[in-house]
Amino acid sequence: MCGCQLNRRSLLLGGGVAAAALHTGAAHARVRPKDMVPLVGPGFRPTDRDEQGLWKEMDRVEEEIAGSNLLITDPKLTGYLQNLIGTVGGPAAKDFRIYLARIPDFNAMMFPSGFAVIFTGLLLRMRNEAQLAGVIAHEAGHFLRRHMIRSWRDQRRKTDILAIGSMLAGVGGAGAGVYLGDYVQLAQLGAILSLFQYSRAMEAEADAMGAQLIADTGYPPIEMANIWQQLIGEADASARYRGKRRRRGSIFDTHPSEGSRMVDLRASAAEITVPGKVYDAQRARYLATIGSIRPMLLDDQVKLNDPGASQYLIETLAQDGWNGLLRFYEGEVWRLRNRTGDEARAAQSYAAAVAYPDAPADAWRWHGIALMKAGRMAEAKQAFTRYLTMKPDAPDAAWVRQMAG
Amino acid sequence: MVKRSLAAVLAASVALCGCVQTRQFADVQFTPPQGNYKLLVLRPDVTVGSLTTGGMVEPRADWTDQARKSIVDALRAQQSARGGNVTIIERRNQLPGVTAEELAEVERLNYVVDQSIVLHKYLGDYLPTKRGKGLDWTLGQSAVNLGQKTGYDYALFLHAEDQVASGGRIALGVIGLAGCFIGFCAPNVGGSSQLDYASLVDLKTGEVVWFNVVQAGSQVPGIKFGDLRTPEGATQMVERLLGRMKPGRAVREQQAREKR
């Protein structure tokens, strides 16, 4: 129960502030891709004072990120990403810079001055080039729609109004002999909530713009909706393993909920898909490019100690076909989880892995250990020998050689 | 954005009042550089912004450029008056014989060491093992290597940020002041403020030999205690920050004994 007395005069005075505060929280209508006109052209340089200031700050940030030792600098991969943003980046395509950071999380971000950072966790989750292009086009959309400076200005405007409003409420209230502190607090909450809402609106814009950009380039736009379906599945699986429920959206979120993004993207994809036009998700080209780092991507994920998510991810990737690498890491998920029965599950996965020609050396090693534990020494020795042939300089080569007899 | 966080912590640590404060620490054996020394200043980190009505800081590119130039000029004048030979670099790839990666490593190491100094010397989390030892931190071999490769005696790291109250912010303070006459007094909404810090590293030993923080600010918008945009303001800041380097305790005691 509130200890303050709200009389009629204070209600009238505070009403305006409260109305502003309550004007938030309403759900957003879907942003239509065709309304998303790029707001910048090629070679854009800021001319407004506040935007120039923002770009100046970004200079140092980019120098720091470009020199980070978390970056993957393999020219094949960086060239591929640069080429991709140069294709789906709209009018600013040739102005973007893109950096790949080795962080096993699903994330990508665009900075105000036109450079993007994407995490390796994203490359693991994408099933084809269209999905990756969708995420990159979404980030490009933030730049093309000038979201950073627009949200900065929105924030500045709202804090200005709040500061003036609070001050006038204090001074005016004192003059009129009423206390408006409670309304000021309400207005504060309102301002904060409207900032988050603004941020979610920008994300919806970037989704719509991204779908349009990849569709124009010849990728099926529905793949952007598929990303969210996969992400929801992963979050559910991760939560289920931990005996929890997946986190649902709240009014303090900067991004719309995964579910609403998926539904909106599906509708947008249906709207912009041109009947009869040939779309290609470029799965083969994607896998050929990231193939060299896929073992690292899987290794980083499996070591996050999130078996629910890891298992879901591997099974999702395997929808495009099982192989030795995926089977081996499936085994690793079980082995590291180490619940009752997991040892047998892992052994089965290792056995399945070595049946494929692309089985990694470590699959033979663990297959050998599983056979040895089961008392099948002769087969185990064969597996160890295979391991040593593939990886003669392995750090544990001496031990394995002894096992192999 | 990591740089900002250290500045924010420092700003919070220095008492909020309308004044200018400095607080320096030095290695016990520290003697301020004099005579013919070679000083390397690594990427002075200068930002000048406008404090909006609502209290946000809007970075200003033109003011920042102006301030950086003024600070660099003032720094050169001050150090050459002491006999120092100063090189100021703006980009990591500008130092001959040292790769951008090597320089980045030294900068990042210095940054975390500075964080540790701030935590244990300014924020009250004092370490009993360092009591009475003055400033007892080192960048180790990487700084020594930098010195050997380049021939510099000292490296100086400098951070300066200035927030200038906008017209709207000043007006807000005026309304707050006017309110005093009818019983709602809030003139102290917070105005211009400046925060500068610097650390000096001896490139022969790798040790951080001297550290100083200057905080200048006022709670009442419209009242200023220095403006980095002007040459006078920049000279004043460089003087406040680096002008009165005190020798370390052991050196001061030695000097006192010699006087007696």
**Regions of chain B short of the pLDDT cut 50:** 1-3, 14-16
Among all residues of chain A, which has the CA nearest to that of B51?
A: A156
Q: Is the Cβ of B57 closer than 8 Å to some Cβ of chain A?
A: no
| CB-CB under 8 Å, A57 with B47 | yes
Residue A184 has pLDDT above 80, yes or no: no
Domain that holds residue B68: 2-259
Nearest C-alpha of chain B: how many angstroms from A107? 18
| CB-CB under 8 Å, B59 with A160 | no
Give the integer Cα–Cα distance in Å for B171 and B168.
Answer: 5
Nearest C-alpha of chain B: how many angstroms from A138? 23
Rg of chain B over Cα atoms, rounded to whole angstroms, equals 20
pLDDT in tens, A238-259: 999 988 887 777 777 778 888 8
Residue A201 has pLDDT above 50, yes or no: yes
Residues 6+ apart with CB under 8 A from A324: A353, A354, A355, A356, A357, A358, A359, A360, A363
Residues 6+ apart with CB under 8 A from A209: A33, A36, A38, A90, A137, A138, A140, A141, A144, A145
Q: What is the pLDDT of residue A28?
A: 62
Q: What is the mean pLDDT of chain A?
A: 88
Q: What is the pLDDT of residue A23?
A: 44
Of A53, A69, A163, the CB nearest to B58: A53
Cβ-based contacts of B3 with chain A (< 8 Å): 60
Q: What is the pLDDT of residue A168?
A: 81
Residue A17 has pLDDT above 50, yes or no: no
Q: What is the pLDDT of residue B187?
A: 67
Q: What is the pLDDT of residue A71?
A: 94
Token output for A161: 């109004």
| CB-CB under 8 Å, A61 with B47 | no
Q: What are the phi and psi torsion angles at B97 (to 5°)?
A: 85, -5
Give the integer Cα–Cα distance in Å for A263 and A258.
Answer: 9
Q: What are the phi and psi torsion angles at A169 (to 5°)?
A: -65, -40
| CB-CB under 8 Å, B104 with A170 | no
Of B1, B100, B179, the CB nearest to A171: B179
Q: What is the pLDDT of residue A4?
A: 39
Cβ-based contacts of A69 with chain B (< 8 Å): 101
Of A61, A171, A173, the CB nearest to B1: A61
Q: Which domains does chain A have, with CATH numbers?
A: 13-272 (no CATH), 322-404 (1.25.40.10)
Q: What is the pLDDT of residue A196?
A: 76
Give the integer Cα–Cα distance in Å for B42 and B106.
Answer: 10
pLDDT in tens, A291-350: 999 999 999 999 999 999 999 999 999 999 999 999 999 999 999 999 999 999 999 999
Residue A9 has pLDDT above 70, yes or no: no
Q: Which of B137, B143, B54 is nearest to B106 (CA)?
A: B143
- High-pLDDT (> 70) share of chain A, %: 93
What ipTM was reported for this prediction?
0.78
Cβ-based contacts of B65 with chain A (< 8 Å): 56
pLDDT in tens, A230-240: 999 999 999 99
Do B196 and B237 touch, CB atoms closer than 8 A?
A: yes
Domain count, chain B: 1
Torsion of CA A61, A63, A68, A71, to 10 degrees: 100
Q: Which of A293, A304, A379 is nearest to A106 (CA)?
A: A304
Q: What are the phi and psi torsion angles at B172 (to 5°)?
A: -60, -40
| CB-CB under 8 Å, A49 with B52 | no
| CB-CB under 8 Å, A156 with B54 | yes
| CB-CB under 8 Å, B61 with A156 | no
Torsion of CA A214, A219, A220, A224, to 10 degrees: -50
Output the CA angle A298-A99-A96, nearest 5 degrees. 140
Q: Is the Cβ of B64 closer than 8 Å to some Cβ of chain A?
A: yes
Show the 3-state SS of chain A: CCCCCCCHHHHHHHHHHHHHHHCCCCCCCCCCHHHCCCCCCCCCCCCCHHHHHHHHHHHHHHHHHHCCCCECCCHHHHHHHHHHHHHHCHHHHHHCEEEEECCCCCCEEECCCCEEEEEHHHHHHCCCHHHHHHHHHHHHHHHHCCHHHHHHHHHHHHHHHHHHHHHHHHHHHHHHCCCCHHHHHHHHHHHHHHHHHHHHHHHHHHHHHHHHHHHHHCCCCHHHHHHHHHHHHHHHHHHHHCCCCCCCCCCCCCCCCHHHHHHHHHHHHHHHCCCCCCCCCCHHHHHHHHHHHHHHHHHHHHCCCCHHHHHHHHHHHHHHCCCHHHHHHHHHHHHHHCCCCHHHHHHHHHHHHCCCCCCCHHHHHHHHHHHHHCCCHHHHHHHHHHHHHHCCCCCCHHHHHHHHC
Q: Is the Cβ of B181 closer than 8 Å to some Cβ of chain A?
A: no
B34 in helix, strand or coil?
coil
Residues 6+ apart with CB under 8 A from A402: none
Q: H helices of chain B, where?
A: 2-13, 61-81, 100-117, 141-150, 167-179, 231-238, 249-259
Cβ-based contacts of B166 with chain A (< 8 Å): none
Helix axes A361-373, A397-404, angle to 10 degrees: 50
For the segment A97-118, the average pLDDT, to the nearest whole number, is 94
Do A126 and A286 touch, CB atoms closer than 8 A?
A: yes
Of B49, B101, B179, the CB nearest to A53: B49
Of B47, B53, B101, the CB nearest to A163: B53
H/E run at residue B86: strand B85-89
Residue A38 has pLDDT above 90, yes or no: yes
> Which of A47, A48, A54, A57 to probe the B interface (max B CBs under 10 A)?
A57
Do A244 and A167 touch, CB atoms closer than 8 A?
A: no
| CB-CB under 8 Å, B1 with A174 | no
